[in-house]
A and B are shown apart, each in its own frame.
Chain A
Amino acid sequence: MSKQLMSMFLAAFVCVVFMSHISAKIPDDATYIGSETCGACHDDVAEAFRYNVHRVSISAWDGENIACESCHGRGSAHADEGDPYLIKTFSEEYEYGEDNPCLDCHEGYPSAYLGDHHPHIEEGCSGCHQVHSDTENLLVKSEDKLCFDCHIEKMAEFRMPSHHPVTEGFMNCTDCHAPHGKKSVQFVGMMSSRERCLGCHAEKQGPYIFEHAPANEDCMICHKAHGSVADNLLTQSEPFLCLSCHAAHFHSTITGYTGSVYDSPSPVGPDRGGQSGIHSFKKVMLTKCTQCHTQVHGSDLPAQSVSGQAKGMTR
């Protein structure tokens, strides 16, 4: 008995394996039957498909919705005989590479050939999209969860003390990234990553009279895109980051006076007091450079010093 069962299972397995590689053969005389007919048997798919964008956008509307058959082929023979090989189905292999049926319509994604984001090249479109669903962009799950499934370390970065508000739901990965690869060539060459930041932070575009060269070069020299421990998404906290390229202010060598900054009353105005200590000038100069050099992205307003050629970016 068990041998018979085994044989049957084996035969069934062989058949399934063999048949799975046979392409659908839709008879030439098959006709369109309409999506309602399809839904009569495939009710679960039809329910999910009710508000699917494909249902209306590829329906070839002529008094009857034929959205199902736009992809699966004319269905009369399949409906009459119930034979699954009389209708087109899409296996993983079918979606893969140049036979990908999605690209019949979505040819506007040349990145399917030219892009570099792997899921749709390797796993087919269904790695990320559920073609019959009514979800946003037909995604299999919400965008952040979908991306974080593979990019675990990015999820952790978005939870760092300083981060773009992706986990809060106020931004999406696709606000910055093109998931189908580099389809946009709106911004050219070296400028692209800077331009991507300026899409939202356009007030830092310039060009400025007084420039900070790294801000022209690449935002990522000083900033991290996803998250950072340092404030303002800086790669490291100030002053370390600034000191990587600049010398410390030479006034940091000044020994501080121990006592009140001004005896009361101050000769220069009210409320300019406070206590000074031996290391006070180091605390002034080596805690946070942008407390004085506030305009690190560039400025049109001159700093005060003539011999410094107004370049201090303090205004």
Chain B
Amino acid sequence: MQRTIKTTLLLFVMVSLIPVSSYADDLVEYDWGIYLGSHYTGSVDYYPRAGEYYRSNFEIRPEVGLNYIGTRNDKMLKVNAFYYDDKRMYLNAEGVGGDTWSAKLSYRSFFHRTPHDLLENMTAREAVDPEHNTPGGKTTTHQDYVPGAQFGYASHQVASEAILNLIKNDENEVKLYAAHKSIIEHGDKQVISTSHCFSCHVESHRAEVDLYTHNFMGGIEGSMGPASLAYEFGYRFTESRVGASQRYFDEAQHPIQGNKKEEFGSRLIYDDTTLAVEKQPETEKYSHTAKIKTDLPFGALAGSFTHARATNKDYGLDTKSNGGVARLFSRLSRRISFVGNFSASRIKDDPYFVDLPLWREDRPGGGQDFDYTRYSSLTRTYFSGSGEVIYNPSIRYRLSLLAGYKSNKRDDFPIQDAEYETETLFGQLTVRYRPSSKFSGSMKARIEQTDNPFMTVGKLLERRMNGVEDPITGNGFVYYFQREDYKYGDATQLPTMSQQLQFQLRYRPARKWSLVGGLRVQLDKNDDLNTIDFEKTVLQPSLSTTYVVNPSWSLYGNFTHLNESLNAPLAVALFDG
């Protein structure tokens, strides 16, 4: 595939280099430039992080660049390409044929290093009698099968678009358009997996990356006088062309009682076997969108409706969504406008039945069935509506006031049929002020009040179990799953009240000197949790200046500071399981 891409691009460059052939009366102009150079990359100490997007090869490598631009009558071709190395290059090409057609093609690639987790913290053994440092059975161990390996992948992105105007005159317009974008990632990565067949053993392996994502979009748009209609089709699919990484999962043993596979193995879905890990499913997504826009005597109205279906092809799972958006612009007076936004959508994810082996089958008190149907947290109904009044007393001032409401009702989160609904009211005031060419400023203040933000509901803490209230026949142990009924406590980083304030001032004391200062402040709070009072503050001032000393000298400088603080619970069960 990469060879095909490179060959195609090379051919494209060669074709584009051919001077535009001309006829006697044609108006032909073209310019081109070529860059020939080289680079040397070196490093000191550990370079993969400093050179996250570079390859340190200690060699001199050639570079080639090309610029071409040419016109003939009403046609134009532009090509801009650069080769840095075989994993880093770009090409941009654009063609225009009068007002009839236009097309664009772009390609870019870069190399990205990803870090290597050494897993050095993954070593532990319990002390069953800490006072006498007596070793116990629970352990965590790790094995890095690729020590010293450096991981990374080359990302190749190819995009194209074409527009063909079938009809174009003062009154009517019909155009076809199509676009495509592919992202190909090729290289390697670290795959970490854990076997806890008795104690935990974490392994690190190298895995090949060969991931393909393709997006296609096409549509037709027609305008008749003040109204326009459009239909758009979208398709996306992703596939990995290498098999999933495999690892061996240990034979089950009881961590304390030793080699009793029947006791511990009967709690596991699999052991003593080699299985795939970190396998991403092949996926696709279709979308169909109809759009409408019309000018109105007092403004304009635009709307769309989309039906989409995303599929996990490995398991035939679908996410279906239907939704619409409408926007109304109304000029209430010469200086006052109103913008209304409305959207509603329904997203439904397929449920999936998870079939599990019986728990501790043939063991005392065992045989429980943990099969269940997974209902998705994605299944939901969404609605939002907002109105914005914009007041423009003159070009120098703008003031807008926005208010809105949005709701997100989830069918099956946190539990099936619970209909957990998040509702948000928001308001925003924006002021922009430009009294002179020397000075301008803007301010945005936003407040959001949310009921039931997305959170972990009732899972953070555990009530004390006074013995085992519902003991398993045959033994008095407390098993992990029995704690589920004793859980409570909500947790989230999402606020019930969020206040944001943003300023920016631009000042030009002299023609040669400009200053821009900004400040962002955010205060988030959630005191509705039954665990902690969550608070988050963000303070981000920035300052930038440019000074043109004379036509030969120009200087600039920027400073930005970010201070973000927040709190969270640290909860742990007191349980010797």
Residues of A within 8 A of B (CB): 50-51, 53, 55-61, 63, 65, 92-93, 96-98, 107-108, 110, 113-114, 118, 121-122, 134, 136, 149-150, 152-153, 155-157, 165, 168, 170, 182, 185-191, 199-200, 202-211, 213-214, 216-218, 221, 231, 235-236, 240, 243-262, 268-269, 271-276, 278, 280-281, 283-284, 287-288, 291-292, 294-295, 300-310, 314-315
Contact = CB atoms under 8 A, between A and B. Distances in A.
Question: Which of B102, B234, B321 has the most A CB atoms < 10 Å from its CB?
Answer: B321
Contacts of A288: 117, 121
Contacts of A280: 123-125, 140
B403 to A, nearest CB: 14
Contact of A153 (B71, B213, B318, B518): B518
Given A118-B432, A248-B572, A254-B126, 13 more contacts: A56-B98, A97-B392, A110-B302, A185-B325, A186-B306, A191-B345, A207-B317, A243-B568, A257-B133, A276-B139, A294-B278, A295-B278, A305-B268
A108 to B, nearest CB: 8
A53 B213 CA distance: 31
B289 to A, nearest CB: 6
A260 B141 CA distance: 11
Given A152-B518, A153-B518, A314-B193, A255 B121 contact: no
A218 to B, nearest CB: 7
Interface stretch (B38-46, B57-65, B269-277, B547-555): B269-277
A203 B280 contact: yes
Interface in B520-563: 520, 540, 542-544, 558, 560, 562
B354 A209 contact: yes
B455 interface: yes
Contacts of B256: none
B568 A283 contact: no
B491 A273 contact: no
25 contacts: A57-B98, A59-B98, A61-B98, A96-B395, A165-B112, A170-B53, A170-B155, A186-B287, A188-B343, A190-B408, A202-B237, A203-B238, A207-B350, A209-B317, A221-B494, A244-B491, A246-B459, A255-B126, A268-B253, A269-B201, A272-B139, A274-B141, A280-B123, A291-B194, A294-B277
A contact patch SS: loop
Size bracket, chain B contacts: 35 or more
Interface stretch (B1-9, B10-18, B74-82): B74-82
B78 A203 contact: no
B contact patch SS: strand
B293 interface: yes
B378 A283 contact: no
B281 interface: yes
B571 interface: yes
B356 interface: yes
A114 B300 contact: yes
A257 B306 CA distance: 59
Contacts of A216: 376-378
B23 interface: no
Contacts of A209: 315, 317, 352, 354, 374
A304 B249 contact: yes
A259 B573 contact: no
A55 to B, nearest CB: 7
Nearest to B291: A185
Nearest to A229: B562
B102 A57 contact: yes
A245 B492 contact: yes
Contact of B74 (A56, A206, A275, A287): A56
Question: Which of B69, B127, B323, B577 has the most A CB atoms < 10 Å from its CB?
Answer: B127
Contact of A213 (B318, B324, B384, B413): B413
A249 B194 CA distance: 15
A131 B112 CA distance: 36
Ranked 6 nearest A-B pairs via Cβ: A188-B323, A280-B124, A156-B560, A274-B123, A307-B481, A185-B304
B504 A221 contact: no
B122 interface: yes
B454 A214 contact: yes
Given A155-B558, A301-B279, A291 B96 contact: no
B569 A307 contact: no
A83 B462 CA distance: 85
Contacts of B477: none
B501 interface: no
A152 B570 contact: no
Nearest to B139: A261
Interface in B157-197: 181, 183, 191-197
B378 A310 contact: no
Contacts of A268: 198-199, 201, 250, 253
A257 B99 contact: no
A246 B460 contact: yes
Question: Which of B53, B223, B406 has the most A CB atoms < 10 Å from its CB?
Answer: B53
Contact of B108 (A63, A170, A261, A301): A170
A113 B329 contact: yes
Given A59-B74, A276-B124, A301-B277, A205 B238 contact: yes
B275 A57 contact: no
B48 to A, nearest CB: 13
Nearest to B287: A186
